[in-house]
Amino acid sequence: MSKGGHDDRHRSRSFEGSDTDACLAVFDSNVPDYFTREERELFTAFLLDLPGPYLVLEMDDGTIGACGGYAFRDDGRVADMCWGMVRRDLHGRQLGRALTESRIEAAEREATVREIALNTSQHTRGFYERLGFRVIEVIGDGYAPGLDRCEMRMEVGR
């Protein structure tokens, strides 16, 4: 049981094409505080042509509670976390932590990965700092007015 007495059992699995609408609903639940409406088209295109592994957290009731993935760059030395999000009504229930830890663990299993990178807003910067990411750069209004872009990195320990 978690916050509010809700049972948040879930399983992590690979994204399937049939999850597209549910992932878009997760995205929509986070507009405008965490994403802009304009980013929806980018996210849709991303889901239609995934550059790397993408995971969903499927709740016991069959709904998608969170989604996020990663892609490789720099000859596989960097794993870029991409499009990680938790359905708005499930914020604060540790799903974001579970999803992020799953992605970190999967990326660390890749022999070539030396660093994990992500960009996020000021609203979730502290969440990622608590997981071990460090801020490299902050770009004021980098996503939209009032929505800063925080570039973050984590070294992979071998």
Mind listing the pLDDT tens digit for each residue in 54-83?
Answer: 999 999 999 999 999 999 999 999 999 999
Does residue 9 form part of some domain? Answer: yes
What pLDDT sits at residue 8? Answer: 66
127-151 pLDDT, tens per residue? 999 999 999 999 999 988 998 999 9
Q: How far apart are CA 91 and CA 65, in angstroms?
A: 9
Going by the DSSP 8-state scheme, the letter that residue 56 receives in this structure is E
The token pair that represents 24 in the structure block = 């878009």
Q: Cis before residue 51, ω within 30 degrees of 0?
A: no
**The domain that contains 54 carries what CATH number?**
3.40.630.30
53 assigned to some structural domain: yes
DSSP annotation of 90? G
Given 3-state DSSP classes, what are the helix, strand and coil percentages for the chain, each rounded to the nearest 5? Answer: 30, 35, 35
Q: Which domain holds residue 22?
A: 3-113
Query: If you average pLDDT over every residue of the chain, what do you get?
Result: 92
- For residues 129, 135, 138, 142, the Cα torsion angle rounded to the nearest 10 degrees is -60
Length of the chain: 158
Domain tally, the chain: 1
Q: What is the pTM of this model?
A: 0.86
Higher pLDDT, residue 20 or 1: 20
